[in-house]
């Protein structure tokens, strides 16, 4: 018999004890639901803690790799969660017969209303149990590419090469084709498809494709690159260049570098890449319309071209187009206003700096004086001595007017010195002219305890001896 509403109002706590429904022989009220929710929450915290301990401590001590650690931790968490829910219901008075009815009813409800979630959970269990895909694997699938960061019951988290995270429903990985590279796999093949005109010299095309592959540092010589004629298309001959690399996760960058090299070599040897006839009318007028106003505008004249500025410099003028492109790709322009400090005294700046525009003063400051040692103008460079000696700047570098620098990272600068004797000679010649600057570098090394007391006081002689030790000549 239902309780009178006036009785509920007079005894408010009876509301929490009033049965809402029954599960088998167990009456369910507000207090029972609160206890169940609290126990379930505590159990979830315990399961999460156990997963964390397994993944970051216990299995690490057993020398289990990252992929297997996460798999074991996730399976253990799923098992504990299922057992915990059953145990909580048992402790709170629900019998096994009742549980069977409950889960049976839930199965019917899930079958009608939660089919997608059920499929994804089943797929997650399949992924975890079959272990065909593991954490750390590099995969390519219909929705993108990246490395598997974690596998959960409903979805898989993939870290893309752009740095973002892709949350992929598990059913997409179990019901579709997935290209997998192993956890440690780095070697793979990169394909470059291209089309050349019908009457092209096929021997020359093959030669140029293989030459482009041989010039790319990330391409392996064994297995050797291959140039394949794949067929005869409507607008030309379909070629494909195959190369192998030990950096397959960087294949987009490698493909881009090879495309640059191929286009450059084809242009040098008059090998033409045809365009589809339906696109020609749309492509070229648009390009011309975009190019003509810019090239003739005052804005274009006031903006220095990094490419043109670099090839005008005596130490870069013998670079070909590909070498200049590689340099521009590795370096970066920097822009400064009058009075800006480019580099502070006693600061290590890991860049070789080329002056493309403006004037810079080298200022030495201490408690007593502030002295300008020398000035640099267009086509000059600085930063070579601190980089070679691994010391902070002995002076501050200050912009006199508007300044444009092209900065080359330390590792790229070392590579330029080793590959191009002309640059090494230009750097050596310029360094020997800056005697006062060399003295300050000597003092910096002495303060750091890297210079013996009996070093030669003649800065030119001292620098020549240092360069001989650094460069071996």
Q: CATH topology for 188-268?
A: Alpha-Beta Plaits (3.30.70)
- Answer CATH for 16-113 from 3.10.105, 2.60.40, 1.10.287, 1.25.40: 1.10.287
Neighbours of 326 (CB within 10 A): 18
Between CA 37 and CA 47 the distance in angstroms is 15
How much is the pLDDT for 297? 42
How much is the pLDDT for 193? 94
How much is the pLDDT for 292? 41
Q: Is 416 exposed, middle or buried (0-12, 13-18, 19+ CB in 10 A)?
A: buried
How much is the pLDDT for 408? 92
Q: Is 316 exposed, middle or buried (0-12, 13-18, 19+ CB in 10 A)?
A: buried
How much is the pLDDT for 109? 54
Segments of the chain scoring below 50 in pLDDT? 1-2, 8-9, 279-303
pLDDT single digits (tens) 200-254:
888 889 889 988 998 888 898 888 889 999 998 888 899 999 999 988 878 888 9
How much is the pLDDT for 108? 56
How much is the pLDDT for 6? 53
Domain 132-181 has what CATH class? mainly beta
397, 342 Cβ separation under 8 angstroms: yes
* Structural domain spans, the chain: 16-113, 132-181, 188-268, 308-471
Between CA 78 and CA 44 the distance in angstroms is 10
pLDDT single digits (tens) 50-59:
888 877 777 7
Inter-axis angle of helices 321-330 and 251-268, nearest 10? 150
Domain 308-471 has what CATH class? mainly beta
How much is the pLDDT for 400? 92
Between CA 180 and CA 165 the distance in angstroms is 18
Structural tokens at position 433:
């002219």
């Amino acid at each position: 018999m239902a309780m009178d509403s006036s009785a509920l109002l007079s005894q408010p706590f009876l509301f929490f004890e009033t049965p809402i429904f029954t599960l088998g022989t167990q009456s369910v009220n507000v207090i029972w639901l609160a206890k169940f929710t609290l126990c379930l929450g505590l159990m979830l915290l315990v399961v999460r803690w156990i997963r964390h301990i397994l993944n970051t401590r216990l299995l690490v001590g057993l020398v289990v790799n990252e992929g297997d650690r996460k798999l074991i931790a996730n399976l253990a968490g799923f098992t504990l969660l299922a057992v915990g829910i059953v145990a909580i219901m048992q402790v709170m008075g629900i019998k096994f017969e009742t549980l069977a009815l409950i889960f049976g009813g839930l199965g019917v409800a899930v079958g009608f209303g939660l089919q997608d979630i059920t499929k994804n959970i089943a797929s997650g269990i399949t992924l975890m149990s079959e272990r065909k895909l593991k954490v750390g694997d590099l995969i390519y699938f219909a929705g993108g590419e990246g490395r598997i960061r974690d596998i959960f019951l409903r979805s898989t988290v993939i870290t893309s090469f752009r740095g973002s995270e892709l949350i992929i429903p598990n059913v997409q990985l179990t019901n579709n084709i997935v290209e997998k590279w192993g956890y440690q796999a780095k070697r793979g093949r990169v394909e470059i498809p291209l089309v050349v005109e019908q009457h092209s010299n096929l021997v020359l095309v093959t030669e140029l494709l293989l030459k482009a592959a041989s010039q790319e540092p990330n391409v392996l010589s064994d297995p050797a690159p291959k140039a394949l004629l794949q067929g005869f298309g409507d607008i030309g001959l379909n070629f494909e260049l195959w190369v192998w690399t030990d950096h397959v996760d960087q294949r987009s960058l490698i493909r881009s570098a090879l495309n640059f090299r191929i286009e450059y070599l084809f242009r040098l040897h008059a090998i033409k890449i045809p365009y589809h006839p339906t696109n020609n009318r749309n492509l070229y007028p648009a390009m011309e319309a975009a190019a003509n106003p810019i090239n003739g505008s005052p804005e274009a004249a006031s903006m220095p071209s990094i490419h043109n500025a670099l090839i005008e410099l005596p130490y870069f003028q013998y670079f070909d187009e590909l070498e200049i492109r590689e340099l521009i790709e590795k370096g970066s322009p920097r822009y400064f206003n009058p009075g800006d400090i480019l580099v502070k005294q006693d600061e290590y700046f890991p860049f070789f700096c080329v002056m493309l525009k403006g004037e810079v003063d080298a200022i030495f400051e201490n408690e007593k004086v502030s002295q300008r040692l020398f000035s640099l103008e267009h086509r000059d460079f600085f930063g070579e001595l601190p980089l070679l000696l691994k010391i902070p700047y002995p002076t501050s570098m200050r912009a006199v007017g508007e300044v444009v620098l092209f900065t080359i990272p330390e590792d790229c600068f070392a590579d330029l010195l080793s590959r191009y004797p002309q640059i090494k000679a230009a750097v050596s010649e310029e360094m020997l002219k800056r005697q006062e600057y060399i003295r300050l570098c000597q003092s910096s090394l002495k303060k750091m305890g890297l210079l013996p007391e009996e070093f030669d006081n003649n800065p030119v002689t001292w620098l020549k001896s240092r360069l001989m030790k650094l460069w071996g000549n």
